Amino acid sequence: MWTESGQQGPRQDFLRSKASALMAQRLVLCGAVCVMLLALCATAEAQQAQKVPRIGFLLASASSSNSDRIAAFKQGLRELGYAEGKNIIVDYRYADGKLDRLPGVAGELVGRNVEVIVTGGPADTLAAKKATSTIPIVMTFDNDPVGNGFVASLARPGGNITGLSTLAPELSGKQLELLKEIVPKLSRVAVFNNSTNPGNVLVLREIELAAAALKVKVQTLDLLDPSDIEPAFRTASKNHNEAVIVVGSAMINSNRSQVVKSAVKYRLPTMFYTLEMVEAGGLITYGVNRNDLTRRAATYVDKILKGAKPADLPVAQPTKFDLVINLKAAKQIGLTIPPTVLARADKVIK
């Protein structure tokens, strides 16, 4: 009802005041909802930012056989700013030298939805490859990635596998040359191979070429199981071999103490392929520094976690090689290492 002056009455003033109050309440409620939605978005973004990547590390041999390599990998992660348990999680899985366990162990890592699988050697890479064609796989080493069917080429891997290679078969020829230096009358050498490693074919071929040049006869023995170790040394000795070259094998690496004991028992100078074998009491090694390769594998993990595709990451070659001699082992078999060889050693264990 209007007054004579044309102004609204008390009732209209009351209604207008109530409407204004209601509008203010709605604005406050709307603002609160907006604040809540923004807070939820911020929380979701924070959770996404704090997501910790999980990777897997697959090794055919036992954990005790890989402590140095694991330490090298951890060092590589630290150099790139990673701290295990904080901004990266690593699930380590071991087959303890039992190759038949590898498929199941690889399957465990796939089941944990890891973002990358790091492999300790050719047998591990093969198991991981069979377990997944989508999860990126980083090799810490392989002696023939192309020949083993892991990559299309070293420059363009083309699939879900990349990493590092020990593709340097000429090292095997140099190993035989070193044995010839420390055993001057060397005329026969036994080569302990593992035929389940396809990449060893190149290594054996290089040994044969070097043997022909040095006029040394070669006897190749296949070691597939720990029970083959002692009989192989016995056969090598019985057939008048004066030295042994051990070619890469996860089984051998997992049973290094047994190998070393047998070499001493039969007094056979033995050339190994890894530093760990000599540190365990073996005589001599000349080859790729695998700890360095394992450390460098962390670089591939970092690149993949940041979005790089394994197919586009070239396989890297070894850059560090070691000659290590164990004088204690030499004394046990009555062998004197020539000063010229000792002078070239990167490390001498006394």
State the Cα–Cα distance between residues 63 and 92, nearest whole angstrom.
9
Half-sphere exposure of 152 (CA within 13 A, CB side): 10
Residue 267, both tokens: 């007094």
Q: What is the pLDDT along the chain (350 residues), one digit of tens a residue?
A: 444 444 455 556 555 665 565 565 665 555 555 546 555 554 444 444 568 999 999 998 888 878 889 999 999 999 999 999 999 999 999 998 788 899 999 999 999 999 999 999 988 999 999 999 999 999 999 988 998 899 999 999 999 999 999 877 778 889 999 999 999 899 999 999 998 877 788 889 999 999 999 999 999 999 999 999 999 999 999 999 999 999 988 788 888 999 999 999 999 999 998 888 999 999 999 988 989 999 999 999 999 999 999 999 999 999 999 999 999 999 999 999 999 999 999 999 99
**Strand ordering across the sheet containing 89-94:** 89-94, 54-59, 116-119, 137-139, 161-163
Superfamily per CATH, domain 170-289+320-349: Response regulator (3.40.50.2300)
Domain 54-167+291-312 identical in fold to domain 170-289+320-349: yes
Report domain extents, the chain: 54-167+291-312, 170-289+320-349
What confidence score (pLDDT) does residue 98 get?
84
* Closest alpha carbon to 76 in 164, 200, 175, 197: 164
State the Cα–Cα distance between residues 330 and 270, nearest whole angstrom.
10
pTM over 0.85: no
CATH number for the domain formed by residue range(s) 54-167+291-312: 3.40.50.2300
Residue 125 C-alpha from the chain's centroid: 9
Neighbours of 131 (CB within 10 A): 21
Burial 137-163 (b: 16+ CB within 10 A, else e): bbbbbbbbbbebebbeeeeebebbbbb
Secondary structure of the chain in the HEC alphabet? Answer: CECCCCCECHHHHHHHHHHHHHHHHHHHHHHHHHHHHHHHHHHHHHHHHCCCCEEEEEECCCHHHCHHHHHHHHHHHHHCCCCECCCEEEEEEECCCCHHHHHHHHHHHHHCCCCEEEECCHHHHHHHHHHCCCCCEEECCCCCCCCCCCCCCCCCCCCCEEEECCCCCHHHHHHHHHHHHHCCCCCEEEEEECCCCCCHHHHHHHHHHHHHHHCCEEEEEECCCHHHHHHHHHHHHHCCCCEEEECCCHHHHHCHHHHHHHHHHCCCCEEECCHHHHHCCCCEEEEECHHHHHHHHHHHHHHHHCCCCHHHCCCECCCCEEEEEEHHHHHHCCCCCCHHHHCCCCEEEC
What confidence score (pLDDT) does residue 27 get?
56
Measure Cα distances from 2 to 8, 10, 12, 13, 321 in Å.
Answer: 5, 10, 9, 11, 103
The span from the first CA to the last CA of the chain, in angstroms, equals: 114
Largest CA distance in the chain: 134
Residue 126, both tokens: 């093969």
What confidence score (pLDDT) does residue 5 get?
44
Residue 117, both tokens: 């699988």
Beta bridge partners of 324: 285, 347
Residues 171/287, Cβ–Cβ less than 8 Å: yes
State the Cα–Cα distance between residues 220 and 1, nearest whole angstrom.
116
What confidence score (pLDDT) does residue 102 get?
94
